[in-house]
Copies of this chain bind each other. A is one copy, B any other.
């Protein structure tokens, strides 16, 4: 490996107030890459099984990757890896924006945080210098107030702040972390873990440049992206024009827009919360991430039914699906307001919307009443109730305190059959994609180590008919040569899911943007390989890249096995086996027998034994024999 990747990893022990820097060798960097895999490495190596996610012994890793900071669209992401307070499983949550590149410019690939500070603190990292600073004065503040204060007191408006709001401080189990107030590491409670450690924020500023082996190739591929992304497909143009909200209408027309807690997939008022409506009413600006020309992020402003602060961005498709249709709400301004509040308090919009939708169904079914809700009329479609619920969840007030635990724990607490419509996998709430329609998604939700995660692999698992030539260089290099039926769950679908999960695992390891790098999106595999080679100087191939992803999946599974997760946890919520109530997909549901068969096949494919434990041979193949040794120590292999 002649080029020489020289990276640094920052270690912070908040209990001891200790800061250390280590410099792993190239073998480490090339094997673990960054993001989800790098995080999993430290969690498996340095954390014991059974740790309470809110205990000081939980480890939280903030990681870019070996390619972070390259001036290429799609390289702006970074991941946070930790043991989730929502699921008890390993979690990786990724955000774009500016944090990952800025951390690299400040000299670090990753930050590993352990322990718990006695009083609120924030980390200040600038050009290799690191300080643990008092945060007592910003504790209890919104993300926006905290960011303003930090920037002002450090005297630099360009500092990138990754911070939490009151939800994280209050240990809402799905509290998130945001950078620039609108790029969310959304899912699984990273914000709550920061809160549990009294860590309010990480502020970063860097002035170093990324060394690259072949700068010209990198820039040339980046320029090609910038000149062609919008021309490539209507989907790409839509991403700029409408943001991810472009999918609202299509999803609804195909009967798969989650509506009223997934009772149906057709929302009669979808148009009111569509991307087109947003563009034509509240949209004021399109924003992007580091080095990216697409500007798929929304900025919205309103002063009608609600006053919406543009500083917190605008809603994504997931946010609209969960806080809008899934709550039966068709008031776009209300959705924008709820989005603003989620970003202010630091709440995952998906789990927040899912929890409110769950509560609405419980309310309509008479399991909870106005007495429980503090007088809120919590029926589906009540926009005002929805917005109020965001506040009470963030503050853990009344019913909000119950819902702050997530739908799994809330259903257990409420009882009376609420579990039947508590839509989660392993404790993680379902996002705005319906596994009854997309067979690929049924596998993804059931088999993701993280729970009901919609970015573990692509959603569809099918070619878009007629678009084969566009996909040739984006899917075929995996050896996937034929279109599949959208809702099927058969051996071909399992294969495709397995391959795509590995690709997405690689994308999350290199902390790349899915819109640029996931298969079927913009970049071809060939360009990705060329980029990684040109940046790192390593003789990498698509083979090695996909193995990065396989390694991630194996490490995540191994972590969960160690925590006691078993095959029984790999399953879907009951509603997925019940027919969709209305719309074009009426009656459609997941076939239990086919799903069981597919899961068994997947276990063999991915190299897990009957108990769902990655085999020693499989781990050895992935250069993870040390993980097999750890599972052996933990007596996870039957004799």
Contact = CB atoms under 8 A, between A and B. Distances in A.
Interface of A: 1-2, 27, 30-31, 469, 472-473, 476-479, 481-482, 491-492, 494-495, 498, 524-526, 529, 538-544, 546-547, 600-607, 615-618, 620-621, 623, 625
25 contacts: A1-B476, A1-B481, A2-B472, A27-B481, A476-B539, A476-B540, A477-B539, A477-B541, A478-B541, A492-B620, A494-B620, A495-B620, A525-B541, A526-B539, A541-B541, A541-B543, A600-B617, A603-B617, A604-B617, A604-B618, A605-B607, A605-B617, A605-B618, A605-B621, A607-B607
B620 A491 contact: yes
Contacts of A617: 494, 600-606
Contact of A478 (B538, B543, B603): B543
A456 to B, nearest CB: 17
A538 B477 CA distance: 8
A476 B621 contact: no
Given A492-B620, A495-B621, 13 more contacts: A1-B481, A27-B482, A30-B479, A477-B539, A478-B543, A479-B547, A479-B623, A495-B623, A498-B621, A525-B541, A604-B615, A604-B617, A607-B607
A601 B623 contact: no
Contacts of A541: 477-478, 525-526, 529, 541-543
Contacts of A1: 472, 476, 481
Nearest to A30: B481
A348 to B, nearest CB: 34
Nearest to A524: B539
A547 B2 CA distance: 28
B623 A604 contact: no
B625 A491 contact: yes
Contacts of A495: 620-621, 623
A541 B529 CA distance: 10
A477 B544 contact: yes
B542 A542 contact: yes
A346 to B, nearest CB: 38
A250 B1 CA distance: 28
A59 to B, nearest CB: 26
A600 to B, nearest CB: 8
A99 to B, nearest CB: 29
Nearest first, the 3 closest Cβ-Cβ pairs linking A and B are A604-B617, A477-B541, A605-B617
A618 B621 CA distance: 14
Contacts of A27: 481-482
Nearest to A525: B541
A379 B602 CA distance: 58
Contacts of A473: 539
Contact of A469 (B2, B604, B625): B2
A526 B544 CA distance: 13
B472 A539 contact: yes
Contacts of A469: 2
A607 B604 CA distance: 7
Contacts of A30: 479, 481
A544 B479 contact: yes
A86 to B, nearest CB: 30
Contacts of A543: 477-479, 525, 541-543, 546
A540 B618 contact: no
Given A472-B2, A605-B618, A544 B478 contact: yes
A607 B601 CA distance: 12
Contacts of A615: 604-605
A19 B473 CA distance: 38
> Of residues A481, A615, A621, A623, which shows the largest number of chain B Cβ atoms within 10 Å of its Cβ?
A621
A234 to B, nearest CB: 21
A309 B524 CA distance: 56
A558 B2 CA distance: 41
Contacts of A618: 604-605
A272 to B, nearest CB: 42
Contacts of A540: 476-477
A212 B607 CA distance: 39
Contacts of A482: 27
Contacts of A538: 476
A398 to B, nearest CB: 48
Contacts of A546: 543
A302 B529 CA distance: 54
A617 to B, nearest CB: 2
A611 B367 CA distance: 54
A600 B538 CA distance: 33
A361 to B, nearest CB: 37
A527 to B, nearest CB: 12
Nearest to A499: B621
Which has the most chain B C-beta neighbours within 10 Å: A479, A482, A602, A605? Answer: A479
Contacts of A542: 541-543
A318 B477 CA distance: 37
